[in-house]
Structure 1
Amino acid sequence: MKNKRILIGVTGGIAVYKVVDLISRLKKQGAEVKVIMTEHATKFVTPLTFQTLSKNVVYTDMFASLSNMDVEHISLAKWADLILVAPATANTIAKIDLGLADNMLTTVLLAKRSPVMIAPAMNTYMLNHKATQDHLKNLEKNGYIILPCDQGLLACGDAGSGKLLAPEKILEAIQDHFTVKDLEGVDIVVTAGGTREPIDPVRYIGNRSSGKMGYAIAEAAKKRGARVHLISANSSLPVPEGIDYIPIETTEELYREASSLFDSCDVYISPAAPADYRPKDYFDQKIKHKDQEALSINLTSNPDIIKNLAKRKKKQIMVAFAAESQNLVEHAKEKLESKNVDFIVANNIKKKDAGFATDTNIVTIIDKDSAIDYAKQTKKDLAEIILNKIVKLLG
């Protein structure tokens, strides 16, 4: 989002206050923001609020004195990389579809040079009215990006669809718009989370993996155009939209699902933490502590998923992960050779902010030619680094 130029058209709806939050988020992402307000919008929030947040003059009047010799409705249309109308009332949506130009915002939209994103907000019955739906369909057919509405209790007291999409969701839509689709058509399998091997109906053998790295990769790959299958083991994270989500529990289930998708995929990325062992015997009833002072559980080995899949490798790019507590690079290089993967993402789980369940990581990415250290950064940023390397390998 750095230096992306976002022109926001604010119209007269109670949801205007959410756009204040959105502009704050955009500025934190490094975007440049300018605002046009309709006269009715100024009744809800003052132009000074948006001017303070955007650090730019707010445009409200078609016939105000020019701040320079540019014709402002034309210069604004030229300036924008993206125009967002939020909240977009039924009235403004109708005007845009009909090509009317009776205020600063609609005039700029008629002179637009960039994509336009519309975030509707209105009463449920107004939204569902045939006229509004026809206008939205026409705009979408003509290349406008129409965002969905949230559902819930509206300001008028009705409940249903029509709430302005939450600021964080609008921000995601804008980020997605600017994301280069360099993985368009690529089929990617991502595994995530830690498997659990049941001992009895209550207990299991497991690990501390939260799935955050795998989910970050899956979400980033989807935004970059990939077809993503996320095989997730025991994670409570929200599922990214638009992906094929496959929940599993045990290592054997993970192996089965991964095996079924492997031959048809282009890329296999495995940050999941499958258990190496499972109990040899499963107790159908909960084991009672009072029945025995000590308990021995015989363990048997689980399949080595990466190694077995790599034997079937043809075109696939394979990325493995190594969570180590000592001799990081040495152990990761051994894994690279023994498992026949393209590169390994290795981290020392003893380092602060680099272990399980954190939002950050500190990794070394190792392939047959190099071992590159990456300083602490978010798992979302690491996901992009990993995908960039995959894009290069795909050519």
Structure 2
Amino acid sequence: MSLAQRRILLGVSGGIAAYKSCELVRRLRDLDAEVRVVMTEGATHFISPTTFQALSGQPVRVSLWDAQAEAAMGHIELARWAERILVAPASADLLARLAHGMADDLLTTLCLASAAPLYLAPAMNQQMWAHPAVQANMATLRRHGARVLGPAVGDQACGDVGSGRMLEPHELRDALLASFGDRCLAGFKVVVSAGPTYEDIDPVRFIGNRSSGQMGFAVAAAAVAAGAEVTLVAGPVSLATPAGLHRRVDVRSAAQMHAAVLEAATHADVYIGAAAVGDYRPQEVSAQKLKKRDGGELVLHLDENPDILASLSAQTAHPFLVGFAAETHDVATYAQGKLRHKGLDMIAANQVGGGLGFEAADNALTLYWADGSVELPRVAKTELARQLIARVAERYRATRA
């Protein structure tokens, strides 16, 4: 991965999350990007401009009233220089000023004066993020073309827990990296399923699996970056919605995921089934918690869940179908069998267990189709998803175009 000679203007507004932006500059520079930092006055109360200057290797601008810089219209020069503008963190105040077209400091002036795509990484208290005024401002900014990255859900500096955390530096870096990528799915409608499914036994217990949803969410984000209109059907996970998503549908059980995918795939060009859907569900769900029986055993009778891929494949007209096969052994045999048995266009096979696949930050895949295959070596799931999407677009055009 490289951002060699790509020109990134990083705006930093006032907020405790500004400390993460130091790491972001380092990660961007590691990919050979050119980074220039513009700070609001409030941001300097959290991080010194000297820190960003040392990390970026470039002077840091704060004031619109810098006589030396503005003698040659420095803010216009910076606005023209930038290929991407990312504001991280983007405070509620900064978002409000941008939404209403205000240009009362250097950073807002740059954002209005530049034709570069604008990316915003909000960071604030969860109650503040939920406020109708903030959400109205976000809606305005999206209408004006701003790309919103996050926020994430989690612990906050104030002690609250909820939505409002700035995305992590590597997530912001990957979003910028993807923005320069090949838009190989421009104009496509893509449905992605991700995460586990849970089948209730009683109000307390359920049958589930260890899928974190990371791979499926990375695939959805990569499809968005490739220009697709993406609907994500997600099982019970704790992951932030990928930026630019058309729609997210949250489900719990296999039956709910089956219904949601079939509805979403009605007009889709591609379906990528990255979810780890449970094969079975209890025949009966107890309305009350099942109590332990001394010296006894509990027997569960299970019924088979509906098969999403098989249901889609059986349709006369269906999307380009990409399945996933997570196996502990005989990976190639099981994956190729599933490819043929379910009538798929492509299957992505991977070994799981022993630190591979589930709950890991990286992964490896082998892709199979009717008359070929390719190995995608172990890399970060975000990069692996990008490679997968490129192969899907390639095979789609080879068979459907």
Structure 1, residues 332-369: CA drift from partner, whole Å, max 9, x if none? 1111111111111111123x432322222122111123
CA distance change for structure 1 residues 295 and 222 in 2, over 3 Å: closer, same or farther? Answer: same
CA distance change for structure 1 residues 312 and 236 in 2, over 3 Å: closer, same or farther? Answer: same
- Cα deviation for residue 321 of structure 1 reads 0.8
Aligned pairs for 1:101-116 within 5 A: 114-115=116-117
Name the stretch that deviates more: 191-200 or 336-345: 191-200
Match of 1:279 among 278, 282, 306: 282
Distance 2:273 2:387 in 1: 15
1:319 aligns with 2:318: no
CA distance change for structure 1 residues 374 and 98 in 2, over 3 Å: closer, same or farther? Answer: closer
Match of 1:264 among 267, 277, 286: 267
Match of 1:63 among 45, 61, 68: 68
Distance 1:354 1:372 in 2: 19
> What is the letter of the counterpart of residue 293 of structure 2?
K
Aligned pairs for 1:271-350 within 5 A: 271-290=274-293, 293-312=296-315, 314-350=317-353
Q: Is the 8 A contact 1:252 1:302 kept in 2?
A: yes
Distance 1:302 1:141 in 2: 41
Alignment partner of 2:251: what SS?
strand
Structure 1, residues 153-205: CA drift from partner, whole Å, max 9, x if none? xxxx9xxxxx9967758767755754554434422222222333333444333
> What is the letter of the counterpart of residue 231 of structure 1?
V
- Cα deviation for residue 222 of structure 1 reads 3.2
1:246 aligns with 2:250: yes
Distance 1:108 1:171 in 2: 21
> What is the letter of the counterpart of residue 195 of structure 1?
T
- Cα deviation for residue 258 of structure 1 reads 2.5
CA distance change for structure 1 residues 367 and 279 in 2, over 3 Å: closer, same or farther? Answer: same
Distance 1:202 1:141 in 2: 43
Distance 1:114 1:209 in 2: 38
Aligned twin of 1:205: 207
- Cα deviation for residue 257 of structure 1 reads 2.6
> What is the letter of the counterpart of residue 82 of structure 2?
A
1:387 aligns with 2:392: no
- Cα deviation for residue 104 of structure 1 reads 8.1
Name the stretch that deviates more: 288-297 or 326-335: 288-297
Aligned twin of 1:366: 368
Match of 2:194 among 170, 192, 215: 192
CA distance change for structure 1 residues 264 and 293 in 2, over 3 Å: closer, same or farther? Answer: same
Distance 1:34 1:311 in 2: 54
- Cα deviation for residue 292 of structure 1 reads 6.2
Aligned pairs for 1:153-172 within 5 A: none
Q: Is the 8 A contact 2:313 2:344 kept in 1?
A: yes
Q: Is the 8 A contact 1:97 1:139 kept in 2?
A: no
Q: Is the 8 A contact 1:33 1:54 kept in 2?
A: yes
Distance 1:284 1:85 in 2: 49
Structure of higher CA gyration radius: 1
> What is the letter of the counterpart of residue 21 of structure 1?
K
Match of 1:49 among 23, 35, 51: 51
Aligned pairs for 1:142-161 within 5 A: none
- Which runs of 5 or more residues in structure 1 are unaligned? 123-127, 129-134, 151-156, 158-162
Distance 2:43 2:286 in 1: 65
CA distance change for structure 1 residues 347 and 79 in 2, over 3 Å: closer, same or farther? Answer: same
Distance 1:358 1:48 in 2: 36
- Cα deviation for residue 62 of structure 1 reads 4.3
Distance 1:202 1:105 in 2: 51
CA distance change for structure 1 residues 355 and 99 in 2, over 3 Å: closer, same or farther? Answer: closer
Q: Is the 8 A contact 2:249 2:260 kept in 1?
A: no
> What is the letter of the counterpart of residue 375 of structure 2?
D
Q: Is the 8 A contact 2:178 2:222 kept in 1?
A: no
Aligned twin of 1:2: 3
- Cα deviation for residue 5 of structure 1 reads 0.9
CA distance change for structure 1 residues 189 and 98 in 2, over 3 Å: closer, same or farther? Answer: closer
CA distance change for structure 1 residues 73 and 290 in 2, over 3 Å: closer, same or farther? Answer: closer
Aligned twin of 2:24: 25
Distance 1:137 1:261 in 2: 24
- Cα deviation for residue 317 of structure 1 reads 0.7
Alignment partner of 1:274: what SS?
coil
Distance 1:236 1:110 in 2: 35
Alignment partner of 2:296: what SS?
coil
CA distance change for structure 1 residues 167 and 311 in 2, over 3 Å: closer, same or farther? Answer: closer
Q: Is the 8 A contact 1:22 1:171 kept in 2?
A: no
- Cα deviation for residue 54 of structure 1 reads 0.5
CA distance change for structure 1 residues 28 and 111 in 2, over 3 Å: closer, same or farther? Answer: same
Name the stretch that deviates more: 166-175 or 215-224: 166-175
Per the normalisation by structure 2, the TM-score is: 0.71
Distance 1:211 1:136 in 2: 26
Q: Is the 8 A contact 1:20 1:50 kept in 2?
A: no
Distance 1:213 1:147 in 2: 18
Aligned twin of 2:258: 255
Matched residue count: 373
Distance 2:150 2:359 in 1: 32
Distance 2:361 2:396 in 1: 28
Aligned twin of 1:375: 377
Q: Is the 8 A contact 2:279 2:305 kept in 1?
A: yes
Per the normalisation by structure 1, the TM-score is: 0.72
